[in-house]
Every structure is written in structure tokens, then in C-alpha cells.
Chains A and B, each alone.
Chain A
Amino acid sequence: GQNIDQPTEMTATEGAIVQINCTYQTSGFNGLFWYQQHAGEAPTFLSYNVLDGLEEKGRFSSFLSRSKGYSYLLLKELQMKDSASYLCAVLDSNYQLIWGAGTKLIIKP
């Protein structure tokens, strides 16, 4: 079966750095996405990785290792507005997105 694992919840301090991990086992791989979802709102796109390595976009970076079935999202200089759920999703061989359950990130002052 297809499976995507990420921690249920993480807590971090404002101004700090946090890394949210995602491991996956899917039938085929055509890219990995990270989305942000604030409570009661729709998911919004953060990043896409299809090749191994680090993609940096402002305070957010995403890393992929296809051989390990592993990705992480790195958030720097945390702000209170970063409190949200972060969803990892893999595009499988049928070009359908398989979603993890999401990691709820709590930022404390």
C-alpha cells in the first residue's frame, strides 16, 4: 500500500528553526509537495521537489532524498503566523496526490 508518515504535532519557539520530516512509500514517484493549512482554511502550496536536494524559498526550504523516501520542510525565523498544519503529499505513478495526515505546528512566544 501507499503510506506517508509525518509527526502529528510539533512545538517551537518564535524566532527559532524547526524541521518537519516526511517519509513516504508510494507506487511510483513524480514529485513531493508541501502545503500549509491554517485552521479552518484551505491548503496552500509551499514547495515542490522532484530532484534530490534542497530548494530554498525565503524562510522556507524543502529537501528531498528519493533513495531514502524522505523529505523535510525547514522553517527559519519562526513567526506566530507560521502556526498551522503542514501537509506532505507525493504525486504517484498515476499522477494522483497521496497525502500525509499533516503536522500541526504550534509556535510559542
Chain B
Amino acid sequence: IAGITQAPTSQILAAGRRMTLRCTQDMRHNAMYWYRQDLGLGLRLIHYSNTAGTTGKGEVPDGYSVSRANTDDFPLTLASAVPSQTSVYFCASSDPQAGESNEQFFGPGTRLTVL
């Protein structure tokens, strides 16, 4: 693994189904993030985690949950998917102690369609 990986690459899901999007990083970054990206809108933060064992809500957390059991993994769960959750989901990580820029590194994304 090099950087951040996400799985699946894409998924079509029936409304009401439960779905977990996986995210794994091998850079030992403390901070991890989940964003959704919709056409015409900027990236919107769903949930974040500043360090293993802690999570926080972003701008659009409703309908989503996360966990951070260890440094490397940060799964995002949709408990009961709805069509408005159709989007491209990006996972990102950063190391706030690496330097002043706190640059975020992004995974390749998961394209989710809820029917």
C-alpha cells in the first residue's frame, strides 16, 4: 500500500441498505477525514478524526457514522442509504505535526449511487 486506498471504487446500492466505505492509509497520519463531492458544490466534510480513538462531526454528518479503532483505518458507514447520498466520497489524511502546511492527502474516491 502506498498512500491512501479506498474500497470499493464504485457501488450501486438500493435505498435502505447499509453500506461501509473503507479507507486505509499507510503514512501513519494522525488525522483522517471523509468528504463528499457533488457537482457544483465544494468538498463537504462529513466526519473527521484527529487521532485514533476520537472522531468528530463535520458539516454534513447526518446519515453517516465513522469509527477510528487504529491509526490506519477510518471506515464510513451509511446505516440506511438514501438517494441524496449519491455522491463521490473521498477519504483524506494529514499529519498536523509534519509542518505548517497540514497538507491533506486524498484517496482515489468511491463513486456511490443510491437508487
B100 at the binding interface (Cβ < 8 Å) = yes
* Separation of A98 and B44 alpha carbons in the complex (Å): 8
The closest CB in chain B to the CB of A102 belongs to B42
Decide: B102 and A100 in contact? CB cutoff 8 A.
no
Which of A31, A42, A95, A96: most chain B Cβ within 10 A?
A42
Q: Report B98 CB to chain A, min CB distance, Å.
A: 12
Q: Are A33 and B103 in contact (CB under 8 A)?
A: yes
B residues in contact with A41, CB < 8 Å:
108-109
| Bound-state Cα–Cα, A102 to B45, Å | 15
User: Nearest A residue to B35 by beta-carbon distance?
Assistant: A99
Q: How far is the CB of B86 from chain A (nearest CB, A)?
A: 16
Within 8 A of A (CB), among B79-115: 90, 96, 100-109
| Known contacts A4-B42, A99-B43, A102-B42: A42-B108 contact under CB 8 Å | yes
Give the contacts of A62-109 with B (CB-CB under 8 A).
87, 89, 91, 95-102
Asked if B40 and A101 sit within 8 Å, CB to CB, the answer is yes
- Interface residue ranges, A against B (CB under 8 Å): 4, 31, 33, 41-45, 48, 50, 87, 89, 91, 95-102
